[in-house]
Structure 1
Amino acid sequence: MTTVHPIILCGGSGTRLWPLSRKSYPKQFVPLMGQQTLFQACAERLRGPGDNPFAPPMVLTNAAFRFIVTEQLAAIGIDPGPILIEPDGRNTAPAVLAAALHLSASDPDAIMLVAPSDHVVPDSAAFHTAVAEGVRAIAERNDLITFGITPDRPETGYGYLQLSTRPDGNGKAQPLGRFVEKPDLETAKAMLTDGSYLWNSGIFLFAVRDILAAFQTLAPELLAPVRTAVDQAQTDLGFLRLDPAAWDKVADISIDYAVMEKADNLSVVPYSAGWSDLGSWSAVQELSDPDDDGVATSGAVTAIDCRNVLLRSEADAQELVAMGLENVIAVAMPDAVLVASMDKAQDVKQAVTALKAKGAKQAEQLPVDHRPWGWFESLVIGDRFQVKRIHVHPGAALSLQSHHHRSEHWIVVEGTAKVTVDDEVKLVSENQSVYIPLGAVHRMENPGKVPMVLIEVQTGSYLGEDDIVRYEDVYARS
């Protein structure tokens, strides 16, 4: 029985769904559709069917997201395979090649299922059937497999796959005719009418030996630096950090450009059971169960006499009220609000570019800052003071640290904190507080089995996050 090895790619920054998705915490880790995040839904889907489960997933991500990955997998009861840390984003070709080289060391005949972490595929059973068809095609012909989505509209935001013949609906793998770049609207309409074009999903299936042979033939310049990056990778708290010096020599190129568009043994499995890459807010609106007037809402929202709108409030204490709107996207965050015409949904990343140009921190940073031990958010910031809410996971601990420019007051509001201040260690319970003088070596821990929450009041001449001297850290941060 063939074992499928899922490879989950989750290093992207997700600017097209700003302001909810930002570089510091992109869309794959956000519960956009329901309670689970897109990454968690992907991992659940890649468990495989019950009678033939897939291998534990290999994950490729970056250093900033490594603890988010393990935390979100643990929350749904998935023990992952290797988690490879890319020193920098180099697009999908180097990531896929690194996964193939790592997997080849233990199983050169393995089947790799490569999937982005931020797609919506609602019918897992149909997806598993499509994967099984791809496995069959690999066994018969050693093909490289991609999955093509049956289009239901003339979409200009996706690339296309043209099949050699029009699909007959049986879901069988078919030879690929050619790749087609994102078309204009008139071309997309003609493709939809033609019937032989499918959307390019960016999901792939191949045997390790076959994809390595394809890289050797079609993109040999990638092999040496990526192989060195894998061979010289260093273990770090259960993660595998690819060698940064070797990785720095790797070209930034997609798997489509590097291999797929040049390969002569590529087949497509047509898939028509529902799929979206959630590449725009208009796609989110379509999948958010809009009412008969096309009104899709999330959070504390009141809509009056609106048509074809997406309204989301991402703060419990913030009510979003819309009146008489049509074809509008409105997404309200505590620190930023997006209001856009629905026909500009594909252009939201231009807003991020404009914000970065003016130096606005909202371009990339969420008001909530996620850390390995939990998260914090700034509630009030003044000239010489800052008030934060800090959430520490059960059993987690902040680093042993000191500050040059600020002192701190901690007030525990939920749970119990174990606090170290120089040579003193004590427990601080709800409604109790502790003072951390300027320069004191201190640490905060949560010894309990429930989250611990405290309010931190900082005072001093400089309150930046870089004013931290770390002496010990269980998460091996410098």
Structure 2
Amino acid sequence: MHTILLCGGSGQRLWPLSGSIRSKMFLQLLPAPDGGTESMLGRVCRQLAHAGLDESLLLVAHQEQVALTQRYTGSRYPVIGEPCKRGTFTAAALGALHLLAAGKAQPEDIVCIAPADMFADDGFFRQFHQFEDILAASHAELLLLGTGPAYPSEQYGYIVPAQGDSGVYAPVLSFAEKPDVAGARELMRQQALWNCGVFASRLSFLLEHLERLGLPAESAALTALYPGLPVRSFDKEVAERSTRAVVVRHEGEWSDLGSWDTLTDRLPSQVIGEGGLWGECGNSQLINELGIPLHVIGVPGIVAVASPDGILIAGRKEANLIKDILMENSAKEMRYGETGWGSYTVLDRESGGAGLVLTVMLTLLLDHDIPERVCPHSAKTWMIVSGHGEVAVDGHTSAAAAGGSYTIARGQRHTVRAFSPMKLIEVRISEAGDDGKDYGC
């Protein structure tokens, strides 16, 4: 069986920590077995490996997140990039066609589609080993994994199984996508399950859906069509159209950590970062990425989150509204981001008639480098704050250490490599019309 892990997401519900590039699956917040912390993506990949499911694992991410995905998985697994975000069905199809084109899978092989941003126990992933036998025994074309609802949630989709069958699986009667609370209660009375977003089928089943939609069954051809494709979800396009689907019930732990309320229940401490919770602050959470303290006094049941991109103070149950607020208000450019080589923080941005002056703190990981490139419309100065490495300008390499300063003129080819973790400040002067968004270039 082949597992395709979908690493998408818009990064809005966990703002201001998450964004369009650093989505929630990259947040290094969850407790790890070694006593440290790990990301959602790192946790899921670790569990898949422990379950013996990583030998044929493929990750699908947006092309701008490929390097970051490789970084958070230690480059242990292949990652392919979507040119645009076009929904879970399109991402799953691209992954399946990649396996087919690479000769790693055949049409009769079983393919399991799973999201990267979920929190489940180890038994959840061990159930994947049953999928091939269940599909064969049930003669189903599609298998789904569901779990018993802990409460009537408006945030999850539901699967209604046939009743009276106490076996390993049950036929699917219907689906319900994110009902209101009253609808969720009624679904729970029907013994409905939360949809965990995990699907298994033969690869040929996905090829049939591509043919029905008039889409090519070849990865390069599908990639070429991406910009003009609509957003299609796997639930709507495949699951809800299936006439022979079965659901397997997971009895253990599962959630998708899609809100501040669900995520904070999994964090190792009520306070992460500088600051504190004082007085009556029961059920509150503080996360602070800024280098200045944040203190909350006598306010229970809230999340207080600060990052270079903004500050959120919200009731835990109401924090999901941030997604609607961000959609209604045109978001300003992100001031913090992560890359394959490290991270950047925009310290200052000044526009004038002559162009743009941008000041950015760049943080390089050990043995990483900013890819060599040329900036034809901007000049810059690099000032090394800490660490050591080397800077190359037009092929001339020199040692770089704290206190060093390097000037790069327009059109000069340049790069910097870290021999230890490095911090440097980049001051860039760009011509009018250059938005300066390619930090580190």
Q: 1:404 to 1:88 in 2, by over 3 A?
A: closer
Q: Counterpart in 2 of 1:190?
A: 186
Q: Counterpart in 2 of 1:207?
A: 202
Equivalent residues of 1:412, 1:428 under 8 A apart? no
The answer to whether the aligner puts 1:110 opposite 2:109 as a matched pair is yes
The answer to whether the aligner puts 1:39 opposite 2:52 as a matched pair is no
Give, in angstroms, the shift of residue 231 of structure 1: 4.3
Picking from 374, 382, 401, the partner of 2:342 is: 374
Equivalent residues of 2:2, 2:110 under 8 A apart? yes
Picking from 305, 328, 333, the partner of 2:302 is: 328
The answer to whether the aligner puts 1:426 opposite 2:398 as a matched pair is yes
Q: Counterpart in 1 of 2:82?
A: 86
Q: Counterpart in 1 of 2:361?
A: 389
The answer to whether the aligner puts 1:278 opposite 2:257 as a matched pair is yes
TM-score scaled by length of structure 1:
0.80
Counterpart CA distance in 1 for 2:58 and 2:150 is 32
The answer to whether the aligner puts 1:314 opposite 2:294 as a matched pair is no
Counterpart CA distance in 2 for 1:382 and 1:349 is 28
Q: Counterpart in 2 of 1:160?
A: 158
Counterpart CA distance in 1 for 2:95 and 2:357 is 46
Q: Counterpart in 1 of 2:223?
A: 243
Counterpart CA distance in 1 for 2:440 and 2:383 is 19
Matches within 5 A, 1:330-369: 330-356=304-330, 360-361=332-333, 365=334, 367-369=335-337
Counterpart CA distance in 2 for 1:167 and 1:64 is 46
Counterpart CA distance in 1 for 2:350 and 2:229 is 44
Counterpart CA distance in 2 for 1:98 and 1:324 is 50
Identity of aligned residues (%): 24
The answer to whether the aligner puts 1:100 opposite 2:73 as a matched pair is no
Q: 1:128 to 1:405 in 2, by over 3 A?
A: closer
Picking from 299, 323, 332, the partner of 2:273 is: 299
Q: Counterpart in 2 of 1:239?
A: none
Counterpart CA distance in 1 for 2:413 and 2:98 is 40
Q: 1:461 to 1:254 in 2, by over 3 A?
A: closer
Counterpart CA distance in 2 for 1:257 and 1:176 is 14
Give, in angstroms, the shift of residue 441 of structure 1: 1.1
The answer to whether the aligner puts 1:67 opposite 2:41 as a matched pair is no
Counterpart CA distance in 1 for 2:431 and 2:87 is 41
Count of aligned pairs between the two proteins:
425
Residue-by-residue CA offset, 1:342-361 (whole Å, 9 max, x unaligned) = 332332201212331xx522
Counterpart CA distance in 2 for 1:243 and 1:329 is 40
Residue-by-residue CA offset, 1:278-307 (whole Å, 9 max, x unaligned) = 1111111232368xxxxx433234212123
The answer to whether the aligner puts 1:30 opposite 2:2 as a matched pair is no
Counterpart CA distance in 2 for 1:5 and 1:60 is 13
Structure that is richer in strand per residue:
2
Q: 1:347 to 1:467 in 2, by over 3 A?
A: closer
Match of 1:102, SS state, is: helix
Q: 1:369 to 1:18 in 2, by over 3 A?
A: closer
Amino acid at match of 1:147: L
Q: 1:189 to 1:301 in 2, by over 3 A?
A: farther
Amino acid at match of 1:95: A
Picking from 396, 413, 433, the partner of 2:386 is: 413
**Structure 2: 5+ residue stretches without partners:** 32-36
Amino acid at match of 2:8: G
Residue-by-residue CA offset, 1:77-133 (whole Å, 9 max, x unaligned) = x5223x332221111122222223333453223221211111111x21x12332223
Picking from 213, 217, 222, the partner of 1:227 is: 217
Counterpart CA distance in 1 for 2:387 and 2:261 is 39
Counterpart CA distance in 1 for 2:247 and 2:175 is 11
Equivalent residues of 2:159, 2:175 under 8 A apart? yes
Counterpart CA distance in 2 for 1:423 and 1:101 is 41
Match of 1:43, SS state, is: helix
Match of 1:261, SS state, is: helix
TM-score scaled by length of structure 2:
0.86
Equivalent residues of 1:412, 1:433 under 8 A apart? no
Counterpart CA distance in 1 for 2:228 and 2:396 is 49
Q: Counterpart in 2 of 1:7?
A: 4
Picking from 122, 125, 147, the partner of 1:149 is: 147
Equivalent residues of 2:344, 2:439 under 8 A apart? no
Aligned alpha-carbon RMSD (Å): 2.8
Amino acid at match of 1:309: S
Q: Counterpart in 2 of 1:445?
A: 416
Give, in angstroms, the shift of residue 164 of structure 1: 0.5
460-469 vs 396-405, which moves further: 460-469
Counterpart CA distance in 1 for 2:230 and 2:272 is 40
Equivalent residues of 1:47, 1:56 under 8 A apart? no
Amino acid at match of 2:390: A
Match of 1:58, SS state, is: strand
Q: 1:460 to 1:127 in 2, by over 3 A?
A: closer
Counterpart CA distance in 2 for 1:350 and 1:176 is 32
